[in-house]
Amino acid sequence: MNSNNIVALVVALLVPVVTAIAGTVSVLLENRQARNSLTASRRLAFEDASRQIAFTVEWWQAQQLLSTTPQTLQDAEATARGWIDQAATLASEAGRSHLDTDPPSASPSRVLLLYRFHRRAAKSIGCSSFRGIAELGRR
């Protein structure tokens, strides 16, 4: 074996290995980004809820200072309770959505890009390509 053959053999072996490593790294980075995105959206929802409650507290204190009749104070209390209920709903939905949707894991089928096709066009393309591979094997 001369040096050209050795270089060709090394290149032929390295290309699939480097491609597999790059694919695995990209799937892992995608999973990390999905987790970070989910955490950031949850944090944003909790911050919005806490800001809404802080505004409601300040608004309620202002209404107590400004209101002259018990009826306006009762109306303001009802409005404040509604805002607090909205903030509580927002925070509980953010916590629940975080538990319901986990980002996909880096399973071997995902790393090897072995996905199931869902749309009719994708299924037909996938089946026709597998038929073409099978026919090449028969020749």
131 C-beta neighbours (distance < 10 Å), count: 10
**Residue 138 within any structural domain of the chain:** no
0.75 exceeded by the pTM? Answer: no
DSSP 19: H
Alpha-carbon span 127 to 68, nearest angstrom:
76
**Residue 127 within any structural domain of the chain:** no
**Residue 75 within any structural domain of the chain:** yes
**Residue 54 within any structural domain of the chain:** yes
> What average pLDDT does this structure show over 38-61?
89
Alpha-carbon span 99 to 107, nearest angstrom:
20
**Residue 111 within any structural domain of the chain:** no
Alpha-carbon span 81 to 73, nearest angstrom:
12
**Residue 139 within any structural domain of the chain:** no
Domain count, the chain: 1
**Residue 135 within any structural domain of the chain:** no
Alpha-carbon span 60 to 74, nearest angstrom:
11
**Residue 94 within any structural domain of the chain:** yes
Q: Nearest Cα to 67, choosing from 52, 77, 55? A: 77
Range of the domain at 69: 3-106
pLDDT in tens, 50-77: 999 999 999 999 988 887 788 888 998 9
